[in-house]
Structure formats: C-alpha cells, structure tokens
Amino acid sequence: MPFWWPLIVLAFAYAICKFLLMLIPPNVPSIDVDASDVLAHGKDTEENSFIYIPPRGRSQQSDKKVQCYEPATMKYLGYFPALSPTEVEERVTLSRKAQKTWAQSSFKLRRQFLRILLKYIIEHQELICEVSSRDTGKTMVDASLGEIMTTCEKITWLLSEGERWLKPESRSSGRAMLHKVSRVEFHPLGVIGAIVPWNYPFHNIFNPMLAAVFSGNGIVIKVSEHASWSGCFYFRIIQAALAAVGAPENLVDVITGFAETGEALVSSVDKMIFVGSTAVGKMIMRNAAETLTPVTLELGGKDAFIICEDADVSHVAQVAVRGTLQSSGQNCAGAERFYVHKDIYTAFIGQVTKIVKSVSAGPPLTGRYDMGAICLQEHSEHLQSLVNDALDKGAEIAVRGSFGHLGEDAVDQYFPPTVLINVNHNMKIMKEEAFGPIMPIMQFSTDEEVIKLANDSRYALGCAVFSGSKHRAKQIASQIQCGVAAINDFASNYMCQSLPFGGVKDSGFGRFAGIEGLRACCLVKSVVEDRFWPLIKTKIPKPIQAISGSRKRI
C-alpha cells in the first residue's frame, strides 16, 4: 500500500474535526480527564509490565475478573471486576434515581453536555484512537474513521435536529373529530440498558449513550469483556462532561463482566439495546420476555457486495480491499459476500490481487501496517477453518497478504488478508459470519440471479451495489432484503447519522441512529384534547345517556 494513503485519511478526518471545533461556541468549558494510566508511552507499573497469555479452551468467567491485554502485543493492561447480578441491580437503581432529575432538564443543558463532549473528542482524538487501538488491535486510520468521525457526526446531528424530533408532533384528528387536537408526545422511558461489542469500543458506548441522555434517560452500558480497558477510560470522559453541566451523579454508568452481568442488566432496565451475535441476541430476547422489556437488536451481518459489469473495476477493487480486508476483523459494516459479474470477474480478481499483495498486517501503533491484530482470542483458528472448508469444497486462494514483524507471543492474533475465488453457497464462508479479513468472490450472470443470491442468506443487515447505471444499482438494491443499502459506495450509510441503522431476519430488528433510533428511547404517548375548550366540550348524546340509564336500572 502506498505510504501516503493512511496519511491522507487521517488528514481528512483531522480537517473535518477541526472544522467542527470552529463551530463550538467559545463559552463551552473544557474538561480534564486523567489519562496517565492509558498512555502507551507512559510508565508501566509493575502490575501490567508483562506479557499476558490467556488460558485456552476455558472462559475467564470462573476468575470473576475481566482480564485485559493488547491483542497486537499480548501486553497485560489490567483487570476489572465482573459484577454480580446484585451489583448490577444496584447500579441501575442509582441511575434510575438520577434519571428522575435529568428528565426535567432543558434541551439547552443537554446540548451543552454534547458540546463539551464534542470539544474534548476533537481536541483528544489521537488519545481516543490510541486507546481503541491498544485494546482491540485496530489501526489508527480505522479508529479515526470508525470511532471519531461517526461519533462527531452523531453529536452534530443531535445538536442541530435532536430537539426538533423530540418535541410534541401534531397529527390530524380526522373528520369526525374536527373539534379535537391530536398530538404525539415523546417522554423518557427511564433507564436504558445497552450491551455493546468490542469492534468500535468508543463509538459503541457513545452511540446509545448520546441518544439516551439527550432524550432524558439514564443508561447503564455493559461493555464487552474484550474491550473493558478502553470502555472504562471512555466512561471517565462521560463522567467529566456530565459533572461539568451539573448532571446528577450515576445518570450514566459503565459496567464490566460476563454473561451473568448482562443477564442481570436485561431484567433491570426499561429498554434494552443489544449489538452482537445472533445467538446471544436470542438469549437477550428470551430474558427480556420475562419482564416484557422492549429490545433493539443489531446482530450479525453477511452483507452482499455486488459489482455489475458496467462498474469501474479499478475503483471498486480499491473500495472492496480498503473497506473490507484492511478492517482486519474490526469491520462492523459486514461486507462478506462478493458477487462479480462474469464479464469482469477475471479483471476484478486481477485488480484485487494486485492491491492485496501490497497489504500487510502488523502491530497497529507502529504506523507501518495496513491491518492490525484480531481482537478475539482463537478467532484466527475459526477464520482458517472457514477457509479450509471452502478449499475442501473446490474454492481456491487467489492471493494472501503478508505479515510484518510480529512478537512471538502475538502471532496467533493475526490473520493474513485472504481472497477466495470459485466459491459457492455450499461453503460455510458464504453462510456464516466471519468477522475477519476474508474476501470470498463469486460470479453471476444476470441481475435476477445476483438478487436471488444476495437474498439467499439468513442475515440481512446491508448491501452495496456498484454499477455504471445509478438506476440499475438502485433497482437491484431495492430488491435485496436488508435494512441498509449503499449505491456505488460502501459503508457510507453510517456516516449519515440522520439515517436509521439496523437489519432484518437474523440481523435483528429495531433501529438506532436517526429519528427512529432517537424516538426508540422514548415512551410514545398519544394525546387528544378539545380544540375549543371550554366552549365546546365532549358530551354523551342523550340517546346514549338514555340507553346507559336504562341499563343501570336493569
């Protein structure tokens, strides 16, 4: 990969953030957040100065501690307590008490909270990205785009439009009720619960927190056991911003733990947001059913990436490789099935092969590699099993990327970017979510065929369609069963924070982000009142009064 590519991306993100900083009023205070214990170049204590070797084949859960380490180097970072169900209930109770006060706060105060956060994020974006990189193994470029830019976009959208969509909304009363005024009101639900994954630890915390707090709720967030170190640092930022506006203590909380901790959260809150695997999502639903707690589920993805014969092959190959393989398992957009028209199949593979040969994986903070480490322990073994299954069934490896200098203890945390050809839907790689840098490519002949192939999946989160004809691309995308579609682009939807995000089928239901996601944090109340009260009042007609009276006598 040309050395200037990440520099351009980082410069672009930096320029946008600086522009946003110019829009923040000068009276917005700065906050101090202690980061001395998370700086990569700071002094290491005796406690976390060694290489951590996680136990294989068994869970950490028996230890009652969440052990944290850098996937890229296996350097030990520390541990956090796995909270018991009783402790979780206590945290929710404290948040509920604080929420009753916060629910009466003005939108002006809530916007000030957002501006304080935005100012800190922009001024400390390198620190935020570095913490994310250390805890998950992602590159600084991936963190800049996925953590900083998306979060800043969410904040700016809430600042400009959030109050508008939470104010009472007038509705038609109909012809029979012309003397009535109808409206919909949006009230806080109480305490929102969120269980979030490891792939973008900063944004995954801030995304539900921003919507919940701006709509007047409290929120308790269980962070992934694979990203607790970063999550607890990011919580300090939220605490400092809340304190700066005089918000009640404990309005927002971040908790750590394993399955038991998450289960207790589901049964304690007024609304549950879960982002993660389909299997765990089903468990969340079962637990939520006991208390009829509403849930929003954003689950697995196996998005179709469709390339028609009239697309710009060179451009799309760059988008596919940069957006998919270089994510190194950190990709939340989920493009994992590639369908290329037979007329450009060979040319596309040639372009992809050329690019992938220049892609290398290595420790992300060195700044010399295109890809970082894989966050999950033993996940590389799972990825290789998917590749082996495809090879056994007739697929071929077109090209694999390379590794940089890896520490001996961290070799298992890396997986080479891999391009598979001659794949089909009998292979696991085309059916199961991989969440890694594997690019399986299948060819198609007609639009009807590729639509059928794209819909032949239990997952239905998103899709991307590339064609020289925008009309054709839109026609194909409109027939694919999914919640998110990008036309001649990839993963750009999430940068548009006015849009709802979510899927269907095994990818879940409900939406976060946008108007729909914001109002999903609310009790939606229908209200009807007299238009000309007290001049015109609703009275029971006399014939009905007579009927009612006769029934009483009977």
Per residue in 467-519, pLDDT tens?
A: 999 999 999 999 999 999 999 998 888 889 999 999 999 999 999 999 999 99
pTM above 0.85, yes or no: yes
Statement to judge: residues 286 and 421 lie in one domain: no
| Residue 197: predicted pLDDT | 95
> Is 16 inside any structural domain?
no
Is 298 among the catalytic positions? Answer: yes
Question: Domain of 491?
Answer: 303-496
Residue 13 domain-assigned?
no
Say how far apart CA 363 and CA 137 lie, in whole Å: 8
Residue 311 lies in a domain: yes
Q: Are residues 429 and 287 in the same domain?
A: no
Would 137 be classed as within a structural domain?
A: yes
Shared domain for 273 and 334, answered yes or no, is: no
Domain assignment present for residue 31? The answer is no
Specify whether 288 is located in the same domain as 339. no
The pLDDT, as a whole number, for residue 483 is: 96
Tell whether the model's pLDDT for residue 300 goes beyond 50. yes
**Rounded Cα gap, residues 262 and 195, in angstroms:** 7
- Distance, CA of 232 to CA of 81 (rounded, Å): 11
If pLDDT is split at 50, 70 and 90, which confidence band does 363 have? Answer: confident
Say yes or no: 359 and 409 in one domain: yes
Please, are residues 262 and 220 in contact by the beta-carbon 8 Å criterion?
no
> DSSP class of residue 512?
B
Q: Is the pLDDT of residue 132 over 90?
A: yes
The count of domains in the chain is 2
Question: Is residue 6 situated within a structural domain?
Answer: no
Selecting among 225, 298, 336, 433, the annotated active-site residue is 298
CATH code for position 343: 3.40.309.10
The total number of residues written for the chain in this structure: 554
* 12, part of any domain: no
Query: Do residues 460 and 319 share a domain?
Result: yes
Q: Does any domain span residue 382?
A: yes
Instruction: Indicate whether 207 and 341 sit together in one domain.
Output: no
On the CB side of 283, CA atoms within 13 Å amount to 13
The rounded mean pLDDT for the chain is 90
Are residues 348 and 249 located together in one domain of the fold?
A: no
Helices (H), 292-344: 313-324
| Active-site choice (68, 152, 232, 332) | 332
308 and 290 belong to one structural domain: no
How far is 109 from 96, CA to CA, in rounded Å? 19
Q: Bigger pLDDT: 24 or 128?
A: 128
Residue 46: the pLDDT is 43
Over residues 204-254, the pLDDT tens digits come to 999 999 999 999 999 999 999 999 999 999 999 999 999 999 999 999 999
276 and 162 in a common domain: yes
Neighbouring CB atoms inside 10 A of 292's CB total 6
